[in-house]
Amino acid sequence: MRQSGDRATANPRSGSRRAVILDRDGVLVVPRFDNGRSYAPRHVSELQFFPGVTADVETLKEAGFVVIVATNQPDVGAGIVERNMVESMHQRLRGEIPVDDIEVCYDTRAQASERRKPAPGMLHDAARKWSVDLSASYLVGDRASDIEAGIRAGCTCVFIDLGYTAEDKPSQQHATVGSLREAVTWILAQETVRNGSVTCPQLS
């Protein structure tokens, strides 16, 4: 798992694998909601996954995708949450959801490196590590910063609209859906249109 302090690759050499890159909170993890905004859980005891996300990730993997989480966790950089607490959350996530990797950036907005979304550094690093062609890959997120990072990396972007009222919604996404299940359905449909040969497992 690559951490915030590792050097990001600005222009990774294109690989041949397809990936679906997922934000963590609001996509896999149920966030805390307050005054129209979402916040990451601060303790592993607060960690809850949206219903069905394990099956959704399994479906993507059966369709041939590498599945990577790319998440900003600025509460660590701000001194609110200990880094080992986030690592414990990610250990539990890996135990319940079959993601291939987790890219994490602990920077606050003031500390922002090229790995902190909306910069695309985490996506570039993941592409280099997993030999991923970002132009053939997808980014799924619930915030404008996710979508901007995906666009800057050359991904096809899917916005999960959870109805946040305290921040602007993105406008450059290729699709807007209400859940990861809907995002997976849309992605598999796009793959069928692109090449007509992707195996589309049934979503139950």
Has residue 201 been placed in a domain? no
Has residue 60 been placed in a domain? yes
Has residue 10 been placed in a domain? no
Distance, in Å, from the CA atom of 54 to the CA atom of 96, rounded to the nearest integer, reads 7
User: Residues 106-128: what's their mean pLDDT?
Assistant: 96
To the nearest 10°, the Cα dihedral for 146, 122, 84, 108?
Answer: -60
Has residue 200 been placed in a domain? no
HSE on the CB side for 165, CA within 13 Å?
4
* pLDDT more than 70, % of the chain: 89
Has residue 176 been placed in a domain? yes
pLDDT score recorded for residue 42 = 96
pLDDT score recorded for residue 199 = 53
User: Residues 93-107: what's their mean pLDDT?
Assistant: 98
pLDDT score recorded for residue 35 = 83
3-state secondary structure the chain: CCCCCCCCCCCCCCCCECEEEECCECCCECCEEECCEEECCCCHHHCCECCCHHHHHHHHHHCCCEEEEEEECHHHHCCCCCHHHHHHHHHHHHHHCCCCEEEEECCCCCCCCCCCCCCCHHHHHHHHHHCECHHHCEEEECCHHHHHHHHHHCCEEEEECCCCCCCCCCCCCCEEECCHHHHHHHHHHHHHHHHCCCCCCCCC
pLDDT digits (tens, 9 = 90+) for 18-57: 999 999 999 999 999 888 888 999 999 999 999 999 999 9
Has residue 5 been placed in a domain? no
Has residue 156 been placed in a domain? yes
CATH label of the domain that carries residue 29: 3.40.50.1000
Q: 61: which 2 tokens?
A: 């993997």
Q: Contact, 126 vs 84, CB < 8 A? A: no
Distance, in Å, from the CA atom of 195 to the CA atom of 79, rounded to the nearest integer, reads 47
Which amino acid, 118? Answer: P
Has residue 202 been placed in a domain? no
Domain containing residue 26: 19-195
Number of domains in the chain: 1
